[in-house]
Amino acid sequence: MVGCFTKLLFNFTKNVHKHQIHRSMVLSSQKYGKSLVYKSYGEPSEVLNIVEAQNEKPKTDEIAVRWLLAPVNPADINTIQGKYPSRPSLPAIPGNEGVGEVIEIGANIKEFAVGDRVIPNDNNMGTWRTNALYKANDLLKIPKSFGDVEASMLNVNPCTAYRMLKDYVSLKPGDTVIQNGGNSAVGQFVIQLCKAWKLNSVNIVRDRTDIMNLKEHLTMLGANEVLTENELRTTDLFKSKKCPSPKLALNCVSGQSGVEILRHVGINGTMVTYGGMSREPVIVPVSALIFKNIMIKGFWMTAWTKENSKSKIRTEMFNDLADLFASKKLKAPPYKLIPFLNYQEAVSNALKIDGKTGVKYILDMSV
């Protein structure tokens, strides 16, 4: 799998992302590493602490990795709060995504070399730290020419958008997808994939003072329509036939927002829920089930990855995403690099979906 994935990603891009960070190998020889650790579940700003420990030498079958960048996802925050189905043993180090650099290998390691760039090949690997030891199967190798930012968030957001658009409804060019949380990281990848695949995307966002700037940003990504939650309640977009009724709805907010997008799904359509940012339940009107025969589904990227970690379908997905990034039909959402020692800013803001344009917070281990 490692070799195959490496070949795919060597075609991922020939141009280094302008935000790729060039780090000196001198830092690789640091004697002590730092980790964010929580010993009890709770609010991240209260339970996370930086712990320093001496870096260990890898055993014969181990690889020493220095993490470079690690995104802060809502699922990471929910896990620390103890509200996520995946509850690691405590004390624990958070982080499911990241990009790192191999700084030392054991004598029996043949698939990796010092200087290789790697990403996690499993969940709950604890990427919110500067250094760690792993087995070869825990990592996937990527080319050095691949941008650090895009590589750091490859496993979750673009894959989540890709799978939800592929796995639930047989969509054809001209079909419509409606989603809330349109300015989220996943939402922005949904917009770009819809454009690449010639699908209509109707994207719902919360109102804000700079709403026109947000609408312009999402439209430039390829959104066909961007509506606030209030505008959605009164729109005649679908009744007027200006846009076909959605065959697929993607719900990351739930609560009333989920109900509102469900109202517009066409007969025999499907709504997929993959988040509950409002912390409110999904309420399904009886009419949606009886008179419109709408299917209600759920999606969890963690479970999908576990079931398909070595499957051909996962390889095909990475291949497709590689081509889309290489052709610039996909690009990373707006992000902000946060120095590792300033982690409080990232964990305090990661769940705020009413920010300016859905900024992605990424921990930068080198600062």
Cα end-to-end distance, the chain, whole Å: 33
Distance CA 363, CA 8 (A): 26
Catalytic choice (84, 134, 274, 343): 84
Bond preceding residue 91 cis, omega within 30 of 0: yes
Distance CA 175, CA 157 (A): 22
The residue behind tokens 């997008």 is: 261
Contacts for 255-259 with beta carbons within 8 Å, 24 or more apart?
Answer: 255/279, 255/280, 255/281, 255/282, 255/283, 256/280, 257/180, 257/204, 257/229, 258/180, 258/282, 258/283, 259/283, 259/284, 259/285
Query: Could you confirm whether 32 is annotated as catalytic?
Result: no
- Tokens linked to 73: 């996802």
Distance CA 154, CA 142 (A): 11
39: closest CA among 72, 74, 88, 77? 88
42 DSSP 8-state letter: S
Neighbours of 77 (CB within 10 A): 21
* Catalytic positions, written as ranges: 84
